[in-house]
Chains A and B, each alone.
Chain A
Amino acid sequence: MAEYSWPSKEDSRLIGKRHTRLDGLAKSTGAARYTYDVNLPNQLIVKALGSPHAHCKVMSVDVSAAEKTPGVVHVHVLRMPKKGDDGVMVYPEIQTEGELIVAVAAESEGAAAEGVSKIKVQYEQLPVFADDDDLDAAIKAGRTKRAGGKITLEKEPGDDEDEEEFEEKEIARLFKESAHVVEGHYGIDVITHCCLEPHGSTVEWKGGKLNAYLSTQNVSKTDDGFAAALDLTADDVDVHCEYIGGGFGSKFRPDYWGIAAAEISKATGRPVKFMLTRDQELKIAGNRPSGYINVKLGADKDGVVQIWDSQQWGTSGYDGGGVSDSVIPYVYRPKNYRRVATSIAVNADPQRAWRAPNHPQACAMTQTAYDDLAAKMQVDSLDIFLKNLANIEARQTAEVYTEELKLAAQLMDWKAKWHPHGKGPRKGSVVDGLGIGLHEWGGVANSSSVLLRVHADGGVSSYCGTQDLGTGTRTVCAIVLAETFGLDIDDVKVNIGHSTYPESGASGGSTTVGAVSESHRRAATDALARLFEKVAPALGAQPGDLEAKKGRIQVKGSPSKSLSWKEACSKLGMSTIEITTNYERGNKTNLSSEGVGGVQMAHVSVDLETGAVRVNKVVAVQDMGLIINRKAAESQIYGAVIMSIAYALFEQRIMDPKTGAFLNAELSDYKLPRLGDIGEIVVEMYEPESQRSRGVIGLGEPPVISGGAAISNAVCNATGVRVPVLPLTPQRVLKALG
């Protein structure tokens, strides 16, 4: 078995360098075909009616007028009242506003929309609970359940002591002995994934097989999802996704509307395009749970937290989950802590994984309390963040965080800019402030297989059922292959995005770059070994003495004894090297590993008269092991920081607490930052050899985590007042200022 490894930094010709993405031109000129862009001959367009109520029963559905609408070809009822086995009518219960009830297939978008407008549905409205930030109200309404918790104390109770009594007494003692005690309330609202390409598919049947163009971050396994729902086997379903217009954790399944598309296509014998509308995308296609927390912490005279006591709540929709308590407090973990979590069920769509599930909320709910400790002590937040590294629980070390904090402070010019909370100079009505957040993430490589071919004419092609969420997966595959073969990136042809290609894991958990780096490096190493065997006789050498460099196969260190890549491949004669290599997640390897940290610092201005917050500068320092494409890695961090600015200052699901109506489900109202809102962003890769030598670690999620806390802390530093709940809208800032 070959030993797989990466070339050293000095020997890397392509890895770690800056490369433009292979599909950049297609994306920038409109040539890239997304699911929404796939138009099949004779296709029908589907639009659907969503429930106007957050909680109701569907009593009757009348589609007769819709069916008569010019251009309407087929009406498909998703939630129809019907008689049960016992002869009693069963009325479907709807748990979220927007849930789809009837789908209309028509010749055009306009006709489909008109058909939808003519559907008549009778509902029986049911009581709604939609208030996720009011714990008392939720308890009163019977909408809560215990959602985990943990207590850890250094001291243990005596044999004859009652455990709970001991815990209460011990916690009280620890607070009493604390030099500084901080009590605070923090929170972060529900946001949505808001993929710019809405969820959906274009599908067609061909001889009993389903061809599905699906906007998905799980190309290899969504065939299973279709097959299970349609009573097929996965080999009867081909899923295609060359380009996906955003996923962020929300596009792992065909979803019930994907299944409906397949059913409508079967019923009509025509291809069908069924994409959600914008408001449906926001209402039913993915959201991130909210989190709210009451914290009491006690610290010693140096500001090192000795005791943490928190009660958190929040919602993940009608299934009643929330932010996991396992990451509370975040990164920092005092030796004594108690955390209790309660989940609230509200009449809203269940959560989906959102970029770094649980972490951004946990960071924003807890590292704000650490900053409030600095505020109370009137000491530099950086000192408090550094000192408390004595007690952490994270997948990166305190030493690395220390280095990253120092690096970030330097890039932010922290010492020169910092002032005690609320004590900075006022320019007119504007005050400035600084804040910190730090984060951790896993980023293990997912399982990945690739089929690699090296042809006798020198052609190289790879086939892998992975997908490119926007992270530059295609380019990563090409860089790894080209580096291994000593070729240029353009010399290899990378194929991804089809479920008929060898299976590769879903893009979730920052697992994709590691996955494809593993499979492609392994396959290329194996293929090269085979090629060396064929070429060695011609060079009068042993296969083990050969290397691939600068487009040639040569005797190690002797460029004079060499063949061009093409000449070398011609030694394959009539044969082709064809290798399928598989990497299985979790196997020990030199090529990839897991566990990263990172630090972000924000500098903001706050207008005390209007409550407007402006981000002036964010510094993001990130470790990620070995970088494959530096340019794309930087773009990931820029994007993640901007997404943090989004949930820190702008975006929130505004839900009417009485009716459960999603009030801002259009992009004009669902506020996202624009080009003018981002300030200066400085990205710094922390990559000493000790990190690089760990191999590839996923980067997509970690840099989105700590920006929220950093911005909130900066606003607190500026104003001297904590604005408790993200996003920090002008209204909330003014309310906190009093």
Chain B
Amino acid sequence: MSNWFQEHFSRRKFLGGTGAVAATALLSESARQAEAAEKEPQVRSGEQTIKLKVNGKVHEVKVEPRTTLLDVLRYQLDLTGAKPVSIDGSSGASTVIVDGKPVTASTTLALAVEGKAIQTVESLAGKKLDPVPQCFVEHDAEQCGFCTPGFVVAVRAYLDKNPNATEEMIRNNLNGNICRCGTYVNVLQAAVAVVKGGGNG
């Protein structure tokens, strides 16, 4: 993480959340930043206001360079589905989807996901319930439930890429999440059910 951080931020010049920047649309701002970053290194430090696009909505949040995406979600946006379980992301409990890819929010800095599309477990329970949580419920894939949101998101992200995954593929590829209560059998049943078209009613 620290190498990644240095590479992306510490050698860049401070960009800051100036009024001019804040007035611009998020995505174009991000594109401009990326372009600027390519030209010359930037440094960002201290508390600053940035915009994060979470579950389709843009939020202004206050972050420091050290602030994780997980802390922003949980403490500023009241999205507590992603859980703080392991500082190194090895439990997968803080899994969210960023630009279509599963990442652990506990190991992602908020500054690193400016301008990206962030999707949390809460988005799967919108007007229409997503088949993944629906199948988790049907197959009793939650005991204490603390790992469950991270697992749900991980399954969603995997099946988005592999909509026809076999049981064997699911067993081999959904190993980024830990459940202490041991709901794996039920999670497996739930994921297989989603592939078979379950959870749509």
Binding site for A on B (CB under 8 A): 64, 66-67, 71, 74-75, 78-88, 90-91, 93, 120-122, 124-125, 129, 133, 136-138, 140-149, 152, 170-172, 174-188
| Interface check A430, CB cutoff 8 A | no
User: Taking the nearest CB of chain B, how far is it from the CB of A575, in angstroms?
Assistant: 37
Bound Cα distance A456, B124 (Å): 38
Choose from B79, B124, B147 the contact partner of A196 (Cβ within 8 Å): B147
- Give 10 closest A-B pairs by Cβ, nearest first: A30-B81, A245-B146, A642-B182, A27-B145, A639-B182, A470-B143, A470-B144, A29-B125, A37-B80, A24-B137
Question: Is the CB–CB distance between B140 and A635 below 8 Å?
Answer: yes
Residues from chain A with a CB closer than 8 A to the CB of B175 are 674-676
Question: Is the CB–CB distance between B186 and A638 below 8 Å?
Answer: yes
Bound Cα distance A675, B176 (Å): 9
Instruction: List 20 A-B residue pairs with CB atoms under 8 Å apart, sorted by A's residue number.
Output: A21-B140, A25-B125, A29-B121, A29-B125, A196-B93, A196-B146, A196-B147, A278-B86, A278-B87, A470-B142, A470-B144, A636-B143, A638-B184, A643-B180, A666-B86, A668-B88, A672-B180, A674-B177, A676-B174, A678-B184
User: Taking the nearest CB of chain B, how far is it from the CB of A229, in angstroms?
Assistant: 26
Given contacts A666-B88, A674-B178, 15 further A-B contacts (CB under 8 A): A36-B80, A108-B67, A110-B67, A110-B71, A243-B146, A245-B145, A248-B180, A470-B142, A631-B140, A638-B183, A666-B86, A666-B90, A667-B178, A674-B176, A681-B185
Choose from B88, B144, B174, B188 the contact partner of A245 (Cβ within 8 Å): B144
Residues from chain B with a CB closer than 8 A to the CB of A638 are 182-186
A residues 615-656 near B (Cβ < 8 Å) are 631-632, 634-636, 638-643, 646
Bound Cα distance A642, B175 (Å): 14
| Interface check A31, CB cutoff 8 A | yes
Residues from chain B with a CB closer than 8 A to the CB of A194 are 180
| Interface check A32, CB cutoff 8 A | yes
Question: Is the CB–CB distance between A29 and B144 below 8 Å?
Answer: no
Bound Cα distance A99, B153 (Å): 35
Residues from chain A with a CB closer than 8 A to the CB of B140 are 20-21, 24, 631-632, 634-635
Question: Is the CB–CB distance between A667 and B88 below 8 Å?
Answer: yes
Residues from chain A with a CB closer than 8 A to the CB of B136 are 24, 28
Please, which residue of chain B has its CB at the minimum distance from the CB of A38? Answer: B80
Residues from chain A with a CB closer than 8 A to the CB of B183 are 635, 638-639
Binding site for B on A (CB under 8 A): 20-21, 23-34, 36-37, 39, 108-110, 194-197, 243-248, 275, 277-278, 469-471, 631-632, 634-636, 638-643, 646, 666-668, 672-676, 678, 681
Residues from chain B with a CB closer than 8 A to the CB of A31 are 81, 122, 125
Residues from chain A with a CB closer than 8 A to the CB of B143 are 470-471, 635-636, 639
Question: Is the CB–CB distance between A30 and B138 below 8 Å?
Answer: no
Question: Is the CB–CB distance between B145 and A25 below 8 Å?
Answer: no
Residues from chain A with a CB closer than 8 A to the CB of B124 are 29
Residues from chain B with a CB closer than 8 A to the CB of A681 are 185
Bound Cα distance A31, B121 (Å): 9
Please, which residue of chain A has its CB at the minimum distance from the CB of B65? Answer: A110
Question: Is the CB–CB distance between A640 and B182 below 8 Å?
Answer: yes
Question: Is the CB–CB distance between A278 and B85 below 8 Å?
Answer: yes
Question: Is the CB–CB distance between A674 and B184 below 8 Å?
Answer: yes
Bound Cα distance A166, B34 (Å): 87
Please, which residue of chain A has its CB at the minimum distance from the CB of B171? Answer: A676
Question: Is the CB–CB distance between B144 and A30 below 8 Å?
Answer: no
Question: Is the CB–CB distance between A196 and B141 below 8 Å?
Answer: no
Question: Is the CB–CB distance between A28 and B74 below 8 Å?
Answer: no
Greatest chain B CB density within 10 A among A36, A275, A470, A646 is at A470
Bound Cα distance A278, B85 (Å): 7
User: Taking the nearest CB of chain A, how far is it from the CB of B110, in angstroms?
Assistant: 11
Residues from chain A with a CB closer than 8 A to the CB of B176 are 674
Please, which residue of chain B has its CB at the minimum distance from the CB of A111? Answer: B64
Residues from chain B with a CB closer than 8 A to the CB of A631 are 140
Question: Is the CB–CB distance between B93 and A675 below 8 Å?
Answer: no
Greatest chain A CB density within 10 A among B78, B121, B180 is at B180
Question: Is the CB–CB distance between A28 and B141 below 8 Å?
Answer: yes
User: Taking the nearest CB of chain B, how far is it from the CB of A26, in angstroms?
Assistant: 8
Question: Is the CB–CB distance between A639 and B181 below 8 Å?
Answer: yes
Residues from chain A with a CB closer than 8 A to the CB of B152 are 28-29
Greatest chain A CB density within 10 A among B146, B152, B182, B187 is at B182
Question: Is the CB–CB distance between B142 and A21 below 8 Å?
Answer: yes
Bound Cα distance A678, B120 (Å): 28
Bound Cα distance A632, B80 (Å): 25
Question: Is the CB–CB distance between B174 and A246 below 8 Å?
Answer: no
Residues from chain A with a CB closer than 8 A to the CB of B87 are 277-278, 666
Bound Cα distance A603, B53 (Å): 49
Please, which residue of chain B has its CB at the minimum distance from the CB of A43? Answer: B75
Question: Is the CB–CB distance between A675 and B83 below 8 Å?
Answer: no
Greatest chain B CB density within 10 A among A24, A36, A471, A666 is at A24
In the complex with contacts A28-B149, A34-B146, A470-B143, A675-B188 CB distance below 8 A: yes
In the complex with contacts A667-B86, A672-B178, A674-B175, A32-B185 CB distance below 8 A: no
Bound Cα distance A381, B25 (Å): 71
Choose from B83, B90, B144 the contact partner of A244 (Cβ within 8 Å): B144
User: Taking the nearest CB of chain A, how far is it from the CB of B171, in angstroms?
Assistant: 5
Bound Cα distance A21, B133 (Å): 13
Bound Cα distance A349, B82 (Å): 30
Bound Cα distance A678, B167 (Å): 13
Question: Is the CB–CB distance between B66 and A110 below 8 Å?
Answer: yes
Bound Cα distance A248, B171 (Å): 26
Greatest chain A CB density within 10 A among B122, B136, B181 is at B181
Residues from chain A with a CB closer than 8 A to the CB of B78 are 39
Bound Cα distance A31, B85 (Å): 17
Residues from chain B with a CB closer than 8 A to the CB of A108 are 67, 71, 75
Residues from chain B with a CB closer than 8 A to the CB of A672 are 178, 180
Choose from B71, B82, B180, B181 the contact partner of A109 (Cβ within 8 Å): B71
Bound Cα distance A646, B82 (Å): 24
Greatest chain B CB density within 10 A among A109, A469, A678 is at A109
User: Taking the nearest CB of chain A, how far is it from the CB of B139, in angstroms?
Assistant: 9
Bound Cα distance A668, B140 (Å): 27
Residues from chain A with a CB closer than 8 A to the CB of B180 are 194-196, 246, 248, 643, 672
Please, which residue of chain A has its CB at the minimum distance from the CB of B66? Answer: A110
Residues from chain B with a CB closer than 8 A to the CB of A676 are 171-172, 174-175
Choose from A245, A632, A643 the contact partner of B182 (Cβ within 8 Å): A643
User: Taking the nearest CB of chain A, how far is it from the CB of B185, in angstroms?
Assistant: 4
Question: Is the CB–CB distance between A196 and B91 below 8 Å?
Answer: yes
Residues from chain A with a CB closer than 8 A to the CB of B141 are 28
Bound Cα distance A497, B155 (Å): 30
Question: Is the CB–CB distance between A196 and B85 below 8 Å?
Answer: yes
Bound Cα distance A676, B83 (Å): 22
Please, which residue of chain A has its CB at the minimum distance from the CB of B93? Answer: A196
Bound Cα distance A195, B178 (Å): 11
Residues from chain B with a CB closer than 8 A to the CB of A21 are 137, 140, 142
Residues from chain B with a CB closer than 8 A to the CB of A247 are 144
Please, which residue of chain B has its CB at the minimum distance from the CB of A635? Answer: B140
User: Taking the nearest CB of chain A, how far is it from the CB of B106, in angstroms?
Assistant: 10
Question: Is the CB–CB distance between A469 and B144 below 8 Å?
Answer: yes
Question: Is the CB–CB distance between A197 and B185 below 8 Å?
Answer: no
Question: Is the CB–CB distance between A641 and B182 below 8 Å?
Answer: yes
Residues from chain B with a CB closer than 8 A to the CB of A244 are 144
Please, which residue of chain A has its CB at the minimum distance from the CB of B153? Answer: A30
User: Taking the nearest CB of chain B, how far is it from the CB of A632, in angstroms?
Assistant: 6
Please, which residue of chain A has its CB at the minimum distance from the CB of B146? Answer: A245
Residues from chain B with a CB closer than 8 A to the CB of A27 are 142, 145, 148-149
Choose from B75, B88, B91, B186 the contact partner of A39 (Cβ within 8 Å): B75
Bound Cα distance A39, B84 (Å): 14
Bound Cα distance A30, B178 (Å): 17
Question: Is the CB–CB distance between B187 and A675 below 8 Å?
Answer: yes
Residues from chain A with a CB closer than 8 A to the CB of B133 are 25, 28-29
